[in-house]
Amino acid sequence: MQSIDAPDVVRTTCPYCGVGCGVAVSVGAGAVTLSGDRAHPANFGRLCSKGAALAETLDNEGRLLYPIVDGKRASWDVALDRVASGFKDIIAQHGPGAVAFYVSGQLLTEDYYVANKLMKGFIGSGNIDTNSRLCMSSAVAAHKRAFGADAVPVCYEDVELADLVVLVGSNYAWAHPVLYQRLAAAKKARPGMQVVVVDPRRTATCDIADMHLAIAPGADAFLFNGLLHHLRREDAMDIAYVEAHVEGFAAAFEAAKTVSSIPKVAQVCGVEESELSEFFRLFAKTERTVTVFSQGINQSSSGVDKGNAIINVHLATGRIGKPGMGPFSVTGQPNAMGGREVGGLANQLAAHMDFSDVSGVDRVQRFWNASNMARVPGLKAVDMFRAIADKKIKAVWIMGTNPVVSMPDADRVREALMACELVVVSDCVQHTDTTACADILLPAAGWGEKDGTVTNSERRISRQRAFMPMTGEAKPDWWIVTQVAQRMGFAGAFPYTQPAQIFREHARLSGYENDGARAFDIGAMCEIDDAQYDALQPIQWPVNSQAPDGTRRLYTDGKFHTPGGKARMVAVAAQLPAIATDVEFPLVLNTGRLRDQWHTMTRTGKVPRLNAHSYEPYVQMHGRDAQRFQLQDGGLARLSSRNGTMLARVQISEEQRTGSVFVPMHWNDMFARSARVDALAAAITDPISGQPELKHTPVFAEAYRPAWQGFVLSRERIALPEAGYCACTQGAGYWRHEIAGEAVPENWRDWVQDALGCSGGLIEYRDAAMGRYRAACIQDGRLEAVFFIAPDQRLPEREWLASLFGQAVIDPADLAGLLAARPPKGAVANTGRTVCACFSVGEKTIMNAIQEQKLDSVEAVGACLKAGTGCGSCVPEIRRILKGSS
């Protein structure tokens, strides 16, 4: 590990999304600076807004610093003994099926490997599942059905080489921003390249699209089945390839017959016949085609079939295993792929072996010398939490994830954990919705402290390297699991003292009795020494004697991992989502990511410039739906489903289809009150993959009409218990609280003083007739808080007020206009919501510059304001503002 004072550059990997960008970190004199690693083949120096802000997430604020047992600080020895004895006692009384691990795509491969080995080889249960279940398990199952292995055939370069890129259910621009940047650059260099976006929403990704098919939610399999028929009708199949390398065509074609004519497909998909014909024509004629698919496909009650419907059209045209061609599932998390390699999913074993193959189970048992090998799959995530609720699982260890926010029917998940006999959570963050349910908290190492490997969406294994010492008493996840395994009596099988040892064992298992039948093989790396492990360069698996330097793309020879060596087209009976809308719940709720937040905001929520892009939970809907449900832009709405309710700010947008609404997935109880969107989602899953249908929840929307609305800006975060609605975000030197309440306090001054703990220095303005109240707390000349209340959302803008927290003593000119929210002449103007996170440029600033300086292009805005010239993530938004201003 590098010393904190060493000026050396440490090459590591971004911990956020499945793109797996390389990051070059310099640590000197206690300060960390970072940039994209120009040598890393995933990003060649690029980073998105989240990756570029990583250095701002490294402080200790919010970190879990030491073990906590039953709410009290404990030593590692006490905590580890409690975990080991707790699990052992429950296993002794109720058997191995009464315990479970719920792990995460945030874990490194070495962490994952050890956890999986302990549960499946020594505890003797398959009950280890991962939050990747929620992300891409449908793609895993689709790959296995089609290719005989969970293998992504393409590499990132293929997307750049393609003449047609179809993006299905993927907001690439926000969810995989650097891949989007690479695609945008390729299209700029070759304008003839066509990009088609298939998505019910008009997302930022459409900025570079030649065509946007705003398909009806969940109709994707109808679209691709229809395309299969079209390819056959138009004689656009590669018959020779199908005959030589594919089986199952006739059955797949037959199954696709039910809805196959263009008018019928257009009707089911809710698109115009002409645009559908155009898409089919484009696909049929374009040899070099990549179809990228993501959570919009996977998070479905028929996600596996949807994945196979996509793969079918690539197999029918022979567009796989060649440059610029192939179906491409992009993973959500940094190490979702690594988890798949080691068997982190409950229905997998290890190193791409499977419970369905007895010889594979025996092989893993022999390799591990496992004392209690699991022989049947464990419970997948949704079933696992149901079993916890039913008290069949009595002890669960949750590692690096936040299921109380991210699981469907999230309120029931919280209830289940609160009632569970033993809940252990290892995490680097102390306060999350899930750690609040834990009996034992174990402090895990965070990014910058961890050492191991991750695998990105193109099968590329990269090192995540430590560049700073561990915070407090934090320990690596592999170490924590190893210690528990030793205390449970399995010391001989868990001798690990460093991650390189684990990696070598993992590599050896991948090559063990592997005659090429298993796609995942990194056997050539099983004897690397510690120095070689430290210096490991990014490499794509397989890495074996045939491919010692790794493998860029798979299936170049048309040989697949099925017993007969042929790929399988799957008969897909296209279906619409499991639960349809009805009179009671007439809108379809879709969920997804924001550009600048990651998962449950535990890290990105610490960065003011990332928070400034979107500082409240919102529900985006079409104007006609807003009218229908009597909602106002900027007002508050209550969304309800059969499972739960939430509150969010209404955002009217023509980018939504009528009948559909969109809510970001990130908000949780640590940052908002009543804004966990997955509390609304039903625990309905794909029958094969077990992946929940998070993209399609029937909901009802109604106006939430509080008695008052307001905001508080304060140096410290404050609790506002009477506010029925509250969203908090951290700004530069202050906290922003957007609030609303149902009961008007008897005395606002008392309320403010209670909330702020402000004993003196309060200045106030009251207009009782208009229901307005404003106050500011000033102590020793310094602004501590401002408090604005109104009967509705018509409130002053916040930016100038927020800028006053940068003053050690408030300027008298600013003080004069404070409660009127009126800046003095020449003061920083209200800049609006941040659009460019790299250079903190607000929406209003851009609009004003466009108007005043007659700017007419993204480049002109960049030259004038620098906006859009950093990571590039905001370019689609700048173009949207330009369009709106013209």
- Which C-beta is closer to ligand SF4: that of 179 or that of 619? 179
The least distance separating ligand SF4 from the CB of residue 458, rounded to whole angstroms, comes to: 12
In the region spanning residues 321 to 380, those forming contacts with ligand SF4, defined by CB under 6 A, are none
Q: Using CA of residue 694, residue 700, residue 702, residue 707, what is the dihedral sign?
A: negative
For the chain, how are helix, strand and coil distributed in percent, rounded to 5?
35, 20, 45
Burial 808-820 (b: 16+ CB within 10 A, else e): eebeeebbeebbe
Stretch that binds ligand SF4, among 13-21, 111-119, 441-449, 672-680 (CB under 6 A): 13-21
- Which C-beta is closer to ligand SF4: that of 176 or that of 450? 176
The least distance separating ligand SF4 from the CB of residue 16, rounded to whole angstroms, comes to: 3
Report d(CA 844, CA 833) in Å as an integer: 8
Check residue 594 for interaction with ligand SF4 (CB under 6 A).
no
Which residue has the CB atom at the shortest distance from ligand SF4? 51
- Which C-beta is closer to ligand SF4: that of 48 or that of 134? 48
CA dist list (Å): 458 to 290, 382, 538, 551, 552: 13, 28, 11, 10, 8
- Which C-beta is closer to ligand SF4: that of 47 or that of 838? 47
Q: What is the DSSP string of 521-560?
A: --GGGTT--HHHHHTPPPEESP-SSS-TT--SSS-TTS--
Q: Quick one: which of 10, 21, 34, 404 contacts ligand SF4 (CB under 6 A)? A: 21
The least distance separating ligand SF4 from the CB of residue 335, rounded to whole angstroms, comes to: 11
- Which C-beta is closer to ligand SF4: that of 173 or that of 214? 173
Stretch that binds ligand SF4, among 94-102, 174-182, 201-209, 435-443 (CB under 6 A): 174-182
Residue with tokens 């955002």: 651
In the region spanning residues 511 to 570, those forming contacts with ligand SF4, defined by CB under 6 A, are none
- Which C-beta is closer to ligand SF4: that of 35 or that of 537? 35
> Helix, strand, or coil here: 110?
helix
* Binding string, residues 26-65; x marks residues near ligand SF4 by CB under 6 A: -----------------x---xx-xx--------------
- Which C-beta is closer to ligand SF4: that of 22 or that of 635? 22
The least distance separating ligand SF4 from the CB of residue 36, rounded to whole angstroms, comes to: 7
The least distance separating ligand SF4 from the CB of residue 475, rounded to whole angstroms, comes to: 25
Q: Quick one: which of 10, 17, 228, 838 contacts ligand SF4 (CB under 6 A)? A: 17
Long-range contacts, stretch 518-523, CB < 8 angstroms, 24+ apart: 518/149, 518/351, 518/352, 518/353, 518/561, 519/147, 519/149, 519/150, 519/151, 519/352, 519/554, 519/561, 520/149, 520/150, 520/151, 520/341, 520/351, 520/352, 522/461
**Residue 558 is encoded by which pair of tokens?**
């048309």
Check residue 838 for interaction with ligand SF4 (CB under 6 A).
no
Q: What is the DSSP string of 268-284?
A: HHTS-HHHHHHHHHHHH
- Which C-beta is closer to ligand SF4: that of 14 or that of 726? 14
The least distance separating ligand SF4 from the CB of residue 390, rounded to whole angstroms, comes to: 37
- Which C-beta is closer to ligand SF4: that of 171 or that of 347? 171
- Which C-beta is closer to ligand SF4: that of 14 or that of 865? 14
Q: Quick one: which of 10, 11, 12, 19 contacts ligand SF4 (CB under 6 A)? A: 19
Three-state secondary structure readout of 653-718: CCCCCCCEEEEECCCCCCCECCCCHHHCCCCCECCCCCCECCCCEEEEEEECCCCEEEEEEECCCC
The least distance separating ligand SF4 from the CB of residue 186, rounded to whole angstroms, comes to: 16
Stretch that binds ligand SF4, among 173-181, 671-679, 727-735, 791-799 (CB under 6 A): 173-181
Q: Would you say 793 and 738 are in contact if contact means Cβ atoms under 8 Å apart?
A: no
| Residue 94: alpha-carbon gap to chain centroid | 35
- Which C-beta is closer to ligand SF4: that of 12 or that of 660? 12
Q: Quick one: which of 86, 153, 177, 698 contacts ligand SF4 (CB under 6 A)? A: 177
- Which C-beta is closer to ligand SF4: that of 169 or that of 741? 169
CA nearest 850: which of 613, 841, 204, 654?
A: 841
Our separate counts of H helices and E strands in the chain read 30, 34
CA nearest 268: which of 220, 308, 212?
A: 220
Q: Which amino acid belongs to residue 445?
A: A
Angle between the 109-117 and 477-485 helix axes, to the nearest 10 degrees? Answer: 20
Check residue 178 for interaction with ligand SF4 (CB under 6 A).
yes
The least distance separating ligand SF4 from the CB of residue 50, rounded to whole angstroms, comes to: 4
Stretch that binds ligand SF4, among 17-25, 666-674, 745-753, 781-789 (CB under 6 A): 17-25
Give the binding site for ligand SF4 (CB under 6 A).
Answer: 14, 16-17, 19-21, 43, 47-48, 50-51, 176-178
